[in-house]
Amino acid sequence: MVCLGNICRSPLAEGILRKKSEDKGLHWIIDSAGTNGYHTGEAPHHLSQKVARVNGIDISGQVSRKFTPADFEKYDLIYVMADDVLQEIRRMSGDKFQEKKIKFFLEELQPGEKADVPDPWYGDEDGYIDVYKLIDETCDAIVKHA
């Protein structure tokens, strides 16, 4: 999962999908990253951690990292949280970009729609709660198709 800073949306998606896949007995490697690297080495945003914790998921041990073109070789599928993230991945990756490995995260919930997961960074806790619910529902759809 890739978002802008890897402290709000993508860490939630990583934590939620990891828990759901483990609960279903799937042996997936799940990771997250950001395109800007401003928060490299930091834990997820305190409100992302809080809404995850309230829902029984601990993401406090996750550490933000920057997306690299090598991620295309390491992972079978890369979910983007928004179109601006996709455009930045495309720019960063140059000739290593692999369109076939990219999918908008919300396409799992709304097939064919390339919708953005709202970025809660600029809002209050309610925004994080709403994003958690949307990501949780999408992760349910992902494991259902496994």
Which residue is it, tokens 């919300």?
106
Question: Strand, coil or helix: what is 24?
Answer: coil
The catalytically annotated residue of 9, 18, 136, 139 is 9
pLDDT digits (tens, 9 = 90+) for 60-100: 999 999 999 999 999 999 999 999 999 999 999 999 999 99
pLDDT digits (tens, 9 = 90+) for 3-34: 999 999 999 999 999 999 999 999 999 999 99
Per-residue confidence band for 143, with pLDDT thresholds at 50, 70 and 90: very high
The catalytically annotated residue of 3, 8, 18, 139 is 3
The catalytically annotated residue of 18, 71, 119, 139 is 119
CA distances 96 to 6, 27, 139, Å, are 21, 27, 27
Q: Domains of the chain, with CATH numbers? A: 2-140 (3.40.50.2300)
Distance CA 58, CA 15 (A): 7
Tell me what pLDDT residue 29 has: 97
Q: If we measure between CA atoms, which residue out of 16, 49, 56 comes closest to residue 141?
A: 16
Determine whether 116 is an active site residue: no
pLDDT digits (tens, 9 = 90+) for 86-140: 999 999 999 999 999 999 999 999 999 999 999 999 999 999 999 999 999 999 9
Tell me what pLDDT residue 69 has: 98
Determine whether 3 is an active site residue: yes
Tell me what pLDDT residue 146 has: 86
Tell me what pLDDT residue 95 has: 97
Tell me what pLDDT residue 10 has: 98
Global pTM?
0.97
Residues facing 78 on adjacent strands: 102
Residues facing 79 on adjacent strands: 103
Tell me what pLDDT residue 132 has: 98
Q: What is the mean pLDDT of the chain?
A: 97
